[in-house]
């Protein structure tokens, strides 16, 4: 999905010595994947000095590349009867506990099997403030991140919750297991994030990126890993994962950002990283009631924690995070 609104016309002049393919140049300027850029080129949305070229064409220095960002292709969202763990619901909102491996909303490559498909399959109202593909979503979680997700049923609830999220008064706490040991018990990472210029499917710390800040609090230090509570001060894509990788301690099991090795040592399943949205605290958007939800570690992560802590009882603990003071924030 483009970071530039549809209908926007982008123009740029090719610099000397770039020697880059047209699809790569367009992908970088429009903040899209190389595949998406190639699709635009084939569809005539990209011209070089007024003429159409192929994706592999390498513009010469001084040539003007013009891109007209097309609207996203309309595609119906199909309601589906899928397992969904709802921990709370009323007329205004829902809180669900998302399983790892489930995509949050439909997008190219994942048009079904998502949280939104499942929500629509349950019936009942959902806010359409974000469009049908993101019906009800106040925030998101990565595919392989499990935990608490907030859903709005009405536009009023969606607007108020969105404003609270922007004002950072909704408290979201994540637990992560990271490789190695943090330099201090509390590490504040304040680094801007954007698309990785070398791989548009990844995010990275980049100059000129969007402001992003994560506070990392070490809860326990084990032989080769740290147990960390992550405090989000902003909500960028892959923020915790990128910030931990940036300080040299990637999330255990995170293939994308360098933490994928060593799964067998900690008994972590494939295609799973140790990142879980364990706490969500906010004021109800209509009644004003204080809402506080906790999600204990899923069984696979609890088993990994038991292995690294060398304490088998943690695998069956009703909430292993409580044993490490995860929820103890003195009311914060």
Residue labelled with tokens 């958007």: 285
CA proximity to 147, closest of 232, 216, 213: 232
Check if the beta carbon of residue 162 is closer than 8 Å to that of residue 138: yes
Residue 148: beta bridge partners? 97
Active site residues: 142
Q: How many CB atoms lie within 10 A of CB 184?
A: 10
Rg for the chain (alpha carbons), in Å?
A: 22
CA–CA separation, 137 vs 93, rounded Å?
A: 10
What DSSP element (H or E) covers 173?
Answer: strand 171-179
CB contact burial 101-126 (16+ within 10 A = b; e otherwise) = ebbbbbeeeeeeebbbbbbbeeeeeb
Q: Which residues 6+ apart lie within 8 Å of 199 measured at CB?
A: none
CA quadruple 116, 121, 127, 130: dihedral sign = positive
Q: Is 139 left (phi over 0), alpha (psi -120 to 50) or beta?
A: beta
Overall size of the chain counted in residues: 332
Check if the beta carbon of residue 115 is closer than 8 Å to that of residue 103: yes
DSSP 327: T
């Amino acid at each position: 999905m483009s970071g530039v609104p549809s209908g926007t016309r982008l123009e740029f002049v090719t610099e000397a010595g770039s020697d880059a393919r047209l699809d790569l140049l367009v992908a970088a300027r429009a903040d899209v994947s190389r595949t998406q850029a190639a699709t635009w080129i084939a569809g005539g949305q990209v011209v070089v000095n007024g003429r159409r070229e192929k994706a592999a064409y390498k513009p010469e220095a001084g040539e003007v590349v013009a891109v007209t960002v097309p609207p996203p292709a309309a595609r119906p969202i199909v309601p589906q009867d899928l397992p969904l763990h709802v921990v709370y619901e009323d007329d205004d909102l829902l809180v669900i506990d998302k399983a790892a491996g489930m995509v949050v909303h439909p997008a190219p490559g994942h048009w079904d099997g998502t949280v939104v498909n499942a929500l629509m399959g349950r019936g009942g109202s959902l806010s359409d403030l974000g469009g049908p593909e993101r019906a009800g979503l106040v925030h998101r979680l990565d595919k392989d991140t499990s935990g608490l997700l907030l859903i709005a049923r009405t536009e009023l609830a969606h607007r108020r919750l969105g404003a609270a999220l922007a004002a950072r008064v909704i408290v979201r706490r994540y637990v992560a297991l990271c490789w190695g040991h943090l330099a201090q018990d509390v590490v504040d990472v304040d680094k801007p994030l954007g698309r990785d210029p070398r791989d548009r499917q990844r995010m990275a710390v980049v100059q000129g990126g969007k402001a992003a800040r994560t506070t990392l609090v070490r809860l326990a230090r084990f032989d080769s890993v740290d147990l960390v509570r992550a405090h989000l001060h902003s909500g960028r894509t892959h923020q915790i994962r990128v910030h931990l990788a940036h300080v040299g301690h990637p999330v255990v099991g995170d293939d994308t950002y360098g933490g994928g090795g060593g799964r067998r040592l900690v008994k972590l399943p494939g295609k799973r990283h140790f990142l879980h949205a364990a706490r969500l605290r906010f004021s109800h958007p209509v009644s004003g009631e204080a809402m506080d939800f906790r999600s204990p570690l899923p069984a696979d992560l609890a088993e990994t924690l038991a292995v690294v802590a060398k304490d088998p009882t943690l695998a069956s603990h009703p909430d292993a995070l409580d044993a490490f003071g995860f929820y103890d924030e003195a009311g914060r």
